[in-house]
A and B are shown apart, each in its own frame.
Chain A
Amino acid sequence: MYDRADKSVAVGLLAAACSVLAVALWLKPAACGYGTHTQLGLPPCNFLLVTHLPCPSCGLTTSFAYAIRFQFWKAFLASPFGLVAFFGTVSLIPSAIFLLWRRISFRQITESAHFIKAVYAATALYFLSWIFKLGEIEFARH
């Protein structure tokens, strides 16, 4: 049964996706590949400060900031997961409009087995992306 809450979720997703992309456009990507989020007044990564290694989330904002400028290779190097998340965010806009238009509840999607698989895949990719970044740093050192 499609109700107002379902409509609000779809509108919320649409607004969130548009806001994220607008912020990414407004930010200037950091040349070093991470730290772009500090332009938003957010603190620098503690993991990076302590270990001198990027955390799995380092480079995500930078990746979005590059991807929105169509610099996909730089976005990939900043964070491969970030590039995938960027395309996910972009695809969320027509998806949310479709959900609103066809009056489909977002719960129907989150309750499907495919969604759980997608969450697993995204999590795995998130950590693989981190390994890639660590390898990239190691490669640059030698």
Chain B
Amino acid sequence: MGDNTKWALGLSIASLLCCGPFTGVFGVFLAKKDMDEIAAGRAPQLDEKWAKWAYYLNIVGLILFVVGLCLFWGRTGPRGF
């Protein structure tokens, strides 16, 4: 597993637990970096499976954030503006 993937996995957990977009965006970026390296054949030693896991977990974190936001707004209506 590459360093980028390890960080991306950590960030995805943070994204799912509490931090949503703040860590999710960076997690997607880091995991995509490893996926691109593997796809280009520059890093055959990296594990594509874990990179994909990290990538999709971060995506799920971001989607859950948006879903949570929509549910909240559905209940209360967007306030502030």
Residue numbers of A with Cβ under 8 A of B are: 38-43, 45-47, 55-57, 60, 110, 116, 119-120, 122-123, 126
Contacts and interface: CB of A to CB of B under 8 A. Distances in A.
Interface of B: 4, 7, 11, 14, 17-20, 22-23, 26, 29-30, 33, 68-69, 72-73, 78-81
24 contacts: A38-B80, A41-B73, A41-B78, A41-B80, A41-B81, A42-B72, A42-B80, A43-B68, A43-B72, A45-B18, A46-B18, A47-B18, A55-B18, A55-B19, A56-B19, A56-B23, A57-B20, A60-B22, A116-B4, A119-B26, A120-B7, A123-B26, A126-B22, A126-B23
Contacts, number: 48
A123 B10 CA distance: 10
Contacts of B78: 41
Main secondary structure of the interface of A (DSSP, over half): helix
A75 B80 CA distance: 22
